[in-house]
Structure 1
Amino acid sequence: MSEYQYYEFMAIDRPLTCEEQEELRSLSTRARITATSFTNEYQWGNFRGDPRRMVEQYYDAHLYLTNWGTHQVILRVPKRQVTQRAVEPYCVDEYVEAWTTKAHLILDLRSEDESGDWDEGAEDSLGTLAGVRAELASGDHRALYLAWLSGIGAWALQDDDEDEYQATLEPPVPAGLDRLTAPQRALADFLRVDADLLAVAAQASPPAPAPRKRPGKKELAPLIAALPETEKNDLLLRLALGDEPQLGAELLRRLRGEPPVATVPGQRSVAELLDAAHALATERRQGAERVRVEARAKKPAALAAEEEAIWRAVEDHVGCKQAARYDIAVALLVELRDACDHVGRGPEFRQRLAALRDRYRHLPGLLRRLDDRALRG
């Protein structure tokens, strides 16, 4: 299979000007460029642009996919809404990186799968993944924790020092890990977060608070009047500049005194999380195997209960005197023999089988197939 790379960029907070679109055209003559998007695919060669710089200068979200297993999403968030200090505990070398520009914080999240399995529909993920930006801006750090889980899941596949696993503690655990939003669920899937690891992590996660009803004029008017004059001026200036689409949500949280989504201090080591996830996966596999064993155990009894119907089916197939129908009849008899042996009716089965062989002794093709499967009565 030839190499395949997919690049997509999205402008959310403001559309690009015509001049900016022309600047980007110099990076690719084949890209589909609009005021809010940049998309290109490569089956040979490489993209000449630097995705990180493009996000720093132009775009709010970027998705990159390859058919050798790379999944990458880069998000840009205003520094007023997410600080680097809040993000740093969730960073994992190569998998979760963060840096700042003059006005923004940039998050680079990556997952690698050397098996190269292609995820159908992953190219359509950016629209949903971009919803994580607004959640981060609201103080919801579940996406950061999911990215960290993806990183340590990949870390566990490497031949690293066990002592480091024991010494590294998890970052703050956000509330609501057991009830992810649609963007968070999409991010977990895109970054290949192990389901068992997420289930273990969610055990220490407090419940997410229920969303509050949007306030009306009567509630908001006195709250706005009580704001300090300097803060009002600052908010009006930011609103007039138009660079912060999330400003309205930020103002509502400020007026109502809503804290960001709660977190609790991380207390478990990476080793504890990985071991617990492994134990959960083992328990789940063993449970599934028990179900399969029980189903197999029930099957002979069920077949034996249908003995008369199976004999009628055998007679119907043999009566057609066709090789393919003989094969079906013999397969049914093999299953019925094993089922009758399982429930203690083997002698009765063999007595009826002997009668069938005698009745159709003039059909050598059938008799040969019965002999091949040791169905001799």
Structure 2
Amino acid sequence: MSEYQYYEFLAIDRPLDEDEQADVRALSTRAEITATGFTNEYEWGDFKGDPDTLMSQYYDAHLYWANWGTHRLMLRLPKDLLPPRVAREYAVDEHVIVRTTGDHVVLDFHSEDEEGEWEEDAVPGLASLVGVRAELAAGDLRPLYLAWLAAYGGWERDEDAFGDDAEDTPEPPVPAGLDSPTAAQRALADFLRLDGTLLGVAARASAPPPGDAALNRHIGRLPVKEKDGLLLKLAQGQAAEARFELLNGLRGETGTEPAERRTVGDLLDAATEAR
């Protein structure tokens, strides 16, 4: 078999109506299409549709594999659940792309490895990965950090992936709980080819998730004006913004943010030493 490509899309927040399914059917006569999904495999030819357009109009998640080493995962979330400014802190050139479309933010994760071995039976479905979308919507930023780390980890496979100045790039905020990722997050790390040693090094700066007692103490210390501001954001549908502000304040209070952020070079050198 000279080539193999796998496409899968999921509609999570809103199923496609009959007209929308017909629009998608016009792009592929062989695909399995339902109100909530699209799946097709290509051993010859190419998909006629544009994943970016389909994600903007219809779908909330997209998975793509090719046997020449390309892995791609796209996730679409409402902006009020994942603010674009927060997501953009984890963007990495063409590897972790963050764009907006209407009321949504679209995350686009890429991993390339032309030299890696490929096994058809190892192709995953979206079911093992799509859980990270719900985690992001709940304010868990570990999937974004994993994608950022995997992007720069690819530098160890391809020395031309980045310029030398990328070594000085500071890491984004380190989410709590990196040393205990969920099953969906482990699947994401594997899909994006994140090296386990590099993840272990990065997790050294990750605090345990805050417990209820610490959160209650932090809320009790907040000035009334700040509490009112958070409640106003909740009333205006900005629950994610309010959650991020609250947890960021808790990290500052407990000292869980590192005094100085590590750089890409620091992380890669530490992983080499650990190995």
**If the length of structure 1 is used for normalisation, what is the TM-score?**
0.61
Distance in 2, Cα, partners of 1:274 & 1:152: 8
Q: SS at 1:107's partner residue?
A: strand
Distance in 2, Cα, partners of 1:135 & 1:121: 27
User: Which structure features the higher share of helix residues?
Assistant: 1
CA distance change for structure 1 residues 5 and 206 in 2, over 3 Å: closer, same or farther?
Answer: same
Deviation at 1:161, TM superposition (A): 3.9
Q: Does 1:176 align with 2:177?
A: yes
CA distance change for structure 1 residues 87 and 254 in 2, over 3 Å: closer, same or farther?
Answer: closer
Which residues of 2 match residues 135-284 of structure 1 at below 5 A? 135-156=135-156, 157-159=158-160, 160-165=162-167, 167-210=168-211, 259=247, 264=257, 267-281=261-275
Q: What 5-or-longer segments of structure 2 have no aligned partner?
A: 214-227
Q: Deviations over 1:77-118 (max 9, x none)?
A: 000011111011211111100100111000000111112422
The total of aligned residue pairs comes to 251
* Counterpart residue number, 1:44: 44
* Counterpart residue number, 2:62: 62
Distance in 2, Cα, partners of 1:173 & 1:228: 26
Q: SS at 2:115's partner residue?
A: coil
Which residues of 2 match residues 72-87 of structure 1 at below 5 A? 72-87=72-87
* Counterpart residue number, 1:90: 90
- Output the amino acid matched with 2:36: T
Distance in 1, Cα, partners of 2:125 & 2:212: 26
- Output the amino acid matched with 1:153: G
Q: SS at 1:111's partner residue?
A: strand
Does the Cα contact within 8 Å between 2:8 and 2:125 map onto a contact in 1?
A: no
* Counterpart residue number, 1:123: 123
* Counterpart residue number, 1:25: 25
Does the Cα contact within 8 Å between 1:11 and 1:35 map onto a contact in 2?
A: yes
CA distance change for structure 1 residues 89 and 32 in 2, over 3 Å: closer, same or farther?
Answer: same
Q: Deviations over 1:166-206 (max 9, x none)?
A: x2111111110000011111100110101111000000111
Distance in 1, Cα, partners of 2:20 & 2:37: 12
Does the Cα contact within 8 Å between 2:143 and 2:188 map onto a contact in 1?
A: yes
**If the length of structure 2 is used for normalisation, what is the TM-score?**
0.82
Q: Deviations over 1:224-264 (max 9, x none)?
A: xx9989976x66xxxxxxxxxxx9xx59x979x97479573
Does the Cα contact within 8 Å between 2:71 and 2:111 map onto a contact in 1?
A: yes
CA distance change for structure 1 residues 172 and 254 in 2, over 3 Å: closer, same or farther?
Answer: closer
Bigger CA radius of gyration: 1
Distance in 1, Cα, partners of 2:182 & 2:50: 31
Which residues of 2 match residues 316-327 of structure 1 at below 5 A? none
- Output the amino acid matched with 1:267: R
Distance in 2, Cα, partners of 1:144 & 1:162: 23
Distance in 1, Cα, partners of 2:212 & 2:24: 41
Distance in 1, Cα, partners of 2:71 & 2:163: 26
Q: SS at 1:22's partner residue?
A: helix
Distance in 1, Cα, partners of 2:176 & 2:233: 34
Q: SS at 2:178's partner residue?
A: coil
Deviation at 1:268, TM superposition (A): 0.7
Distance in 1, Cα, partners of 2:147 & 2:122: 17
* Paired-residue identity, %: 55
CA distance change for structure 1 residues 231 and 183 in 2, over 3 Å: closer, same or farther?
Answer: closer
Q: Deviations over 1:315-348 (max 9, x none)?
A: xxxxxxxxxxxxxxxxxxxxxxxxxxxxxxxxxx
Distance in 1, Cα, partners of 2:7 & 2:204: 36
Deviates more, 1:150-159 or 1:187-196: 150-159
Distance in 1, Cα, partners of 2:200 & 2:101: 35
